[in-house]
């Protein structure tokens, strides 16, 4: 019960923040895919940068556990590309479609209904996928620092620097 | 509380707040942001209402469990958080067709809604095959420096950009 209450509060705060950042709009998501306005990319990469530093600090202190998704090239690449095709048509991703509905952009309701159908179709296809696509290129739960065999803080500093260079470039170009 | 009534926060400020929220969620509850598994559960609940034996026997519903969990309330929380934010800043509610879509494809609601449904279906099939969406793979995955997150997010954007190019051409009508 406590877990569900905190889940609801976390979701409400996340939805509130995303609405203020204007990232739950079709126009913003498509503008990013059309390389015209990088608002959603700025938001995502800033979130990632802060969370990456915070989580690895807590990890080093032994206070949290990671929850890594395995690298399965068949699933990640093929599924990722199929997702991108649908995203390019809908213009909302799953969490932002819920936010868009809250914001009154009710075209997202049809996207959400489609998502429920898509999830049901995948449940039908899962036994086949498990035997085929999900066996292609399975590297297990792996991170960049683990794969390279180097300290994670080296990777964090490099990624952080890359993100900041990207932000400065976006601002210079007015994206 | 003027800050809560402001229409827009900088994506960087919002990103810092969302990053802190994600770190706190992992630290306090051990929960990472994600959204797409919830749609599997909703599909499971819908199918359960007509064919409970079938759902109980399907491998994917057994794997993902048709229950109301932390992520389920988190995803619905996003809707209410966005609603609260939009209401506080007096956003125009009830937008049937996104402005950018309307400028390209006209005012037809039915056309937009059909496209949204189709896009949602395709997107969620892809998200489940990839084992995550821009929240699970994008934010949570990249924050953990998971290679699966990087591969998936790059594929999301790559296919999304190609679709945007097909639908909108290379023109720059938005500015």
Q: Are residues B157 and B172 both part of a single domain?
A: yes
pLDDT of residue B91: 86
Which ipTM value was assigned to this complex? 0.96
- Binned at pLDDT 50, 70 and 90, residue B173 comes out as low
- Separation of alpha carbons A46 and A39, rounded Å: 11
Q: Of the candidates B30, B60, B94, which is a domain's last residue?
A: B94
- Separation of alpha carbons A107 and B112, rounded Å: 7
- Separation of alpha carbons A78 and A132, rounded Å: 12
Mark yes or no for CB contact B125/A82 under 8 Å.
yes
**Nearest CB to A75: which of B91, B129, B174?**
B129
Q: Are residues B88 and B21 both part of a single domain?
A: yes
**Nearest Cα to Cα of residue A95 among A54, A132, A43, A147:** A43
**Residue tagged 């496209």 (tokens):** B115
Q: Of the candidates B69, B94, B119, which is a domain's last residue?
A: B94
Q: Are residues B109 and B163 both part of a single domain?
A: yes
Mark yes or no for CB contact A90/B116 under 8 Å.
yes
pLDDT of residue A27: 97
Q: Are residues B13 and B27 both part of a single domain?
A: yes
Q: What are the φ and ψ backbone dihedral angles of A137, each rounded to 5 degrees?
A: 65, 55
Q: Are residues B148 and B162 both part of a single domain?
A: yes
pLDDT of residue B174: 47
Contacts of A28 in chain B (CB under 8 A): none
Q: What is A2-40 written as a DSSP string?
A: HHHHHHHHHHHHHHHHHHHTTTT-HHHHHHHHTTS--HH
Q: Are residues B135 and B110 both part of a single domain?
A: yes
**In terms of residue numbers, what domain contains B155?**
96-175
pLDDT of residue B175: 44
Work out the percent of chain A whose per-residue pLDDT is above 70. 99
Work out the percent of chain B whose per-residue pLDDT is above 70. 97
- Separation of alpha carbons B1 and B6, rounded Å: 9
Mean pLDDT of chain A: 97
Structure tokens given for B119: 């896009």
Overall average pLDDT of the B94-107 stretch: 95
Domains contained in chain B, number: 2
pLDDT of residue B170: 74
Judged by DSSP in three states, B146 sits in: strand
Q: Are residues B45 and B100 both part of a single domain?
A: no
Overall average pLDDT of the B117-136 stretch: 97
Tens-digit pLDDT profile for residues A13-31? 999 999 999 999 999 999 9
Q: Are residues B88 and B103 both part of a single domain?
A: no
């Amino acid at each position: 019960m406590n877990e569900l209450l905190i889940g609801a509060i976390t979701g409400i705060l996340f939805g509130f923040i995303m609405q203020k950042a204007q990232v739950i709009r079709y126009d913003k998501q498509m503008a990013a895919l059309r390389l015209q306005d990088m608002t959603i990319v700025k938001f995502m990469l800033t979130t990632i940068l802060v969370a990456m530093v915070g989580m690895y600090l807590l990890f080093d202190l032994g206070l949290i556990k990671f929850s890594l998704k395995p690298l399965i090239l068949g699933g990640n690449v093929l599924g990722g590309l199929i997702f991108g095709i649908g995203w390019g048509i809908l213009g909302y991703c799953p969490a932002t479609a819920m936010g868009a509905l809250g914001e009154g952009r009710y075209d997202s309701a049809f996207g959400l209904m489609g998502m429920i159908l898509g999830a049901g179709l995948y449940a039908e296809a899962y036994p086949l996928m498990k035997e085929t696509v999900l066996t292609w290129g399975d590297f297990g739960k792996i991170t960049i620092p683990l794969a390279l065999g180097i300290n994670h803080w080296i990777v964090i500093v490099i990624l952080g620097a890359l993100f900041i260079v990207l932000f400065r470039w976006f601002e210079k170009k007015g994206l | 509380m003027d800050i809560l009534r402001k229409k827009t926060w900088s994506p960087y400020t919002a990103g810092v707040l969302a990053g802190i929220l994600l770190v706190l969620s992992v630290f306090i509850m051990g929960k990472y942001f994600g959204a797409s598994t919830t749609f599997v559960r909703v599909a499971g609940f819908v199918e359960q209402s007509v064919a409970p034996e079938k759902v109980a026997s399907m491998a994917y519903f057994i794997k993902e469990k048709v229950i109301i969990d932390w992520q389920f309330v988190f995803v619905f929380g996003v809707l209410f958080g966005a609603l609260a934010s939009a209401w506080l800043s007096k956003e125009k509610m009830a937008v049937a067709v996104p402005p950018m879509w309307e400028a390209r494809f006209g005012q037809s609601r039915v056309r937009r809604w059909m496209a949204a449904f189709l896009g949602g279906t395709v997107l969620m099939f892809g998200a489940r095959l990839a084992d995550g969406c821009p929240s699970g793979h994008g934010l949570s995955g990249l924050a953990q420096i998971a290679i699966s997150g990087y591969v998936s997010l790059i594929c999301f954007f790559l296919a999304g950009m190609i679709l945007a190019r097909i639908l909108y051409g290379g023109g720059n009508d938005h500015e």
